[in-house]
Structure 1
Amino acid sequence: MLVSILVICVLAVPASAINFNTPESTVAEVMADPEYYDGTITIGTIAIVGTLTNISCDVRISEGEQSIAVDTRDRSMFEGFEEGDTVKMIGIFYYKRVGGSVFDPECVIHWPIANSKTVSIPELMENPQAYNGRKITVIGNLTDVRESGMGYRMNVEDGGRHLDIKFYGRTLLEAGTVVKATGIFIGGTMHADAVAKRETLPFGIAIPGFSGLLAAGMLAFAFVAASRTISKR
């Protein structure tokens, strides 16, 4: 029984997925009880909300006069962010009595998360910094889907440009399907919380001749309706 429970727990929580719903702590809360938040001993992964400072050099996440040093070995994580931005960092806090504590981020996102904006994949790939750490929606052709770890790795194409997607739900989608995906874009990859078949064309997409056919169809429908009304009289 115990083994079964452990297996279920492991299947329910993908180890490689970023948990964007990790509860937020403030810089002040972490600084007030650093031993409790120390990832090497107790709590593990946490999320800190604060202000980005010293972004051009030694990045820190700050709240008023208090701040925590941030590990910046992966500078690409901060592309598109600016000094003074409010962010949510998810990662591990390492408390050090001597030499200063440091936060090792797994990701950085703009906070609070705004409603997702629909972006074309070509636009996204041309200017990825503008969308780094933001929630977005894309529409395109699913060219590849395969199991990866506890989830799926997908490739979605639009206009000759491709987007890598990580999705940790369940799906029956197959290559060749037009899909709509929503998630947080980080370092060139979308971490999707929803990927579904696109049932209708997005507004703004023009199909040659479609507008004329639609107008003709509407006129024909109006004519038939009018004829039936007259005949009833």
Structure 2
Amino acid sequence: MMATMRGLLVATVATVATVATVTTELARMTRIAMILSVFTILAAPACAIDFSVPESTVTEVATNPEYYDGTITIGTIGIAGTLVNISKDTRIVEGSYAINVDAKDRSLFLGFEDGDTVKMIGVFYHNRIDGDIFVPECVLHWPLTDSGTVAVAELTGNPSAYNGRKVAIFGNLTDVRESGMGYRMDIEEDGAHADVRFYGRTVLEVGTEVKVIGIFVGDTLYAETVAKRKTLPFGIKVPGFSGFSGLLAVGICALAFLMKRGRLRSSRP
């Protein structure tokens, strides 16, 4: 009897020890998974700019820098304010508050002038060697300016006029390939080529006539949408007409056909 009880006690102790070991291992694996998830988020490609990130004011960031510090916590943010000293010691300001801006990538500032109201998207770092600094991924005219439809040659030949603005282009999809979390595309129009990045899903193939709408940053168009170029219904094309004029021409032809058909029917005995 004593031997049996001793055996049960030993088995119970062993079971408890096993459960404790498993629990400890699960806790360790959970911590590892959490750490890996953080690194996965931080490792997202920098080229995938989140233009929809809410904007904070310069005052909010400057008065609460620990909260906005992107070193280990909040990550990418948007800051809205006034751009000053573009050529040297670039800053974004609001009232008496100012934040230094890393302006090494000069292409981001093409077409901007001192005093412009902007939204910068990037990462804010608190207490670096040279103090607080904001490292931008892009600079936008703010509120966002829509420049409408632009020829590819005009867009690529005069980037300062469209940098940080929303545009639309038409052209032939001459190249599409997976790149990171999205696609990199080449759009050609009349011999000019535009570099497009699209972070969605697409089944469009090379040779397709497309319309691209997005935000132009530096020398790259970050697309919101990439779709087949809209033509007349059912792919109808009318020589000498386009857009609304084409639709009107088709409508007139259809009406004339129906009227003629009606007269023929009424003339039958």
Question: Is the 8 Å Cα contact of residues 116 and 182 (structure 1) preserved in structure 2?
Answer: no
CA distance in 1 between partners of 2:182 and 2:147 (Å): 22
Label 1:165 to 1:220 Cα distance change in 2 as closer, same or farther (>3 A).
Answer: closer
Bigger relative CO (Cα 8 Å, ≥ 6 apart) = 1
Q: CA deviation at 1:127?
A: 0.8
Please report the TM-score for the alignment, with normalisation by the length of structure 2.
0.73
Select 2:64's aligned residue among 30, 33, 58.
33
- Gapped regions of structure 1 (runs ≥ 5): 202-206
Is the aligned partner of 1:210 residue 2:240? Answer: yes
Letter paired with 2:240? F
Q: CA deviation at 1:220?
A: 5.6
Q: Higher helix fraction: Structure 1 or Structure 2?
A: 2
Letter paired with 1:169? G
Name the SS for the 1:96 alignment partner: strand
CA distance in 1 between partners of 2:261 and 2:75 (Å): 72
| Greater mean deviation of Cα atoms: 157-166 or 190-199 | 190-199
Match in the other structure for 1:106? 137
Is the aligned partner of 1:65 residue 2:96? Answer: yes
Indicate the percent of aligned positions where both proteins have the same amino acid.
Answer: 56
Note the aligned Cα RMSD (angstroms).
3.0
Q: CA deviation at 1:225?
A: 4.1
Name the SS for the 2:171 alignment partner: strand
Name the SS for the 2:127 alignment partner: coil
Match in the other structure for 2:49? 18
- Gapped regions of structure 2 (runs ≥ 5): 1-29
CA distance in 2 between partners of 1:98 and 1:146 (Å): 40
Letter paired with 2:71? T
Label 1:14 to 1:103 Cα distance change in 2 as closer, same or farther (>3 A).
Answer: closer
Is the aligned partner of 1:161 residue 2:192? Answer: yes
Select 2:224's aligned residue among 193, 196, 208.
193
CA distance in 2 between partners of 1:100 and 1:88 (Å): 21
Select 1:138's aligned residue among 169, 175, 178.
169
Label 1:88 to 1:209 Cα distance change in 2 as closer, same or farther (>3 A).
Answer: same
Bigger Rg, structure 1 or 2: 2
Is the aligned partner of 1:180 residue 2:211? Answer: yes
